[in-house]
Amino acid sequence: MPAPMVHPVLKNGVGAFIPQCRRLVFHYCERSGSSRGMIEYLKKDLIQFAKEHPHVEVIVTPRPSKHPVIRGLYLNGKDKVVCVRNMEPTDIAGKVALLKESSGNRMKVFKKPVISTTESVRGIWSPFHAAPHKI
């Protein structure tokens, strides 16, 4: 019988930090007007971005007759797609930063200020092991 798969407990940031975004794919159309800002961004700002982030693989591919799109691929295998039709280069840079800084996890509501998997340090309160209530 084969040995069961052992999943390592990953705590990104404790020993070493590994950025989660590994690839950004830029799709644009040569002819359509919605890609105008995207083409300007690709010419002006993209090379600078790619130099500053060597861990991100940057791919630029024409996708004719479609709106311009940025697709980010992450280390957990998931991807995030952002349509940047009719956006100016500064707005596109903001979307690129958003994709670069997130992980592949879905957007979720953070209800608690601290996310922890460690046991409580002082233990869970038990009425049988605490000083009795005094009035």
Partner 1 sequence: MLRSFTSRMVGAAQRTNSAVTASAVRLFSATSTATQATPTSSTASPSTPSSELSLLRNQLRYYAVAEIKNRPYLITKNDIIVLDRLKDVKLGDVIELNQIKELGSKDYAIQGAPYVSSEYYSIKATVIEQPKGKIVETFKKKRRKHFQRRYHIKPLHTLLRVSELEVKA
Which residues in this chain contact partner 1 in the complex, by CB under 8 A?
11-15, 17, 19-20, 98, 100-103, 105, 107-110, 112-119, 121-126, 129-131
Question: In whole angstroms, how close is the CB of 104 to partner 1 at the nearest point?
Answer: 10
Q: Are 39 and 26 in contact (CB under 8 A)?
A: no
Choice between 8 and 33, CB closer to partner 1: 8
How many angstroms separate the CA atoms of 111 and 25, rounded? 32
* Token digits of residue 39: 């083409």
Choice between 1 and 52, CB closer to partner 1: 52
Question: In whole angstroms, how close is the CB of 61 to partner 1 at the nearest point?
Answer: 26
Question: In whole angstroms, how close is the CB of 109 to partner 1 at the nearest point?
Answer: 5
How many angstroms separate the CA atoms of 124 and 9, rounded? 24
Choice between 33 and 127, CB closer to partner 1: 127
CA distances from 9 to 6, 12, 14, 118 (A): 9, 10, 12, 12
